[in-house]
Amino acid sequence: MTKPQEIATKAEFLAHAFALEQESVDRYEELADAMDTHNNPEVAGLFRKMADFGRKHAAEVERLAAGSELPVLEPWDFKWSDDEGPETGDYADIDYLMTPVQALQFALVNEKHSRDFYGRVAAHSPTRTVRQLADEFAQEEAEHVTLLERWIARQDPATAVQDDLDPPNIVD
């Protein structure tokens, strides 16, 4: 597995970002479906909104690519810093028994991975324009993290099952 500091061109960065956002959209749609089966339209609605953020982000990435062909990434080409795409999480973790709090925490872990991925590229890419772009993306992901933390804080603590996920960071 290669490292963020090896993402040296804008096209390569955008290809990673595009793949990441598309994965994220798919995952949020699944989470939303899971919440629909829980009769939790509120959290389902949040996830559909997050999926829309991902779609807009992917469109923005295409705009930034400005007509230039992005390299098509095969899974083994991804220069993720860990074994999976930053925003994909573990697919097996999404099931229809997931409570809203678990689903929100799952999404939170993914958003943190995503933020950290962009943050590492922002800190370590050898190319200034890539670092700047990655920094903007990292800030947007940080906003998603904050949003999810607020939602988690609003949930009924009695339904919070924390298992092996990071405990929610409760903010006032």
Q: Is 144 in the site for Zn ion (CB under 5 A)?
A: yes
In this complex, which beta carbon is closest to Zn ion, that of residue 78 or of residue 118?
Answer: 118
Return the number of the residue (111 or 149) whose C-beta is nearest Zn ion: 111
For Zn ion, the closer CB: 141 or 156: 141
How far apart CA 132 and CA 47 sit, in angstroms, is 28
Stretch that binds Zn ion, among 40-48, 94-102, 111-119, 129-137 (CB under 5 A): 111-119
Least distance (Å) between residue 90 CB and Zn ion: 17
Q: Answer whether 46's CB lies under 8 Å from 111's CB.
A: no
Contact call for residue 79 and Zn ion (CB under 5 A): no
Which of 141, 148, 151, 152 touches Zn ion (CB under 5 A)?
Answer: 141
120 binds Zn ion (CB under 5 A): no
Q: Give the shortest CB-84-to-Zn ion separation in angstroms.
A: 15
For Zn ion, the closer of residues 37 and 166 by Cβ is: 166
Least Cβ distance, residue 54 to Zn ion (angstroms): 7
Candidate segments 4-12, 77-85, 105-113, 164-172, binder of Zn ion by CB under 5 A: 105-113
Cα–Cα distance, 18 to 91 (Å, whole number): 19
Length of the chain: 172
Closer to Zn ion by Cβ: residue 90 or 157: 90
Q: Please state the three-class secondary structure of the chain as a single string.
A: CCCHHHCCCHHHHHHHHHHHHHHHHHHHHHHHHHHHHCCCHHHHHHHHHHHHHHHHHHHHHHHHHCCCCCCCCCHHHCCCCCCCCCCCCCHHHCCCCCCHHHHHHHHHHHHHHHHHHHHHHHHHCCCHHHHHHHHHHHHHHHHHHHHHHHHHHHCCHHHCCCCCCCCCCCCC
- The CB-nearest residue to Zn ion is 144
Residues near Zn ion, by CB under 5 A? 111, 141, 144
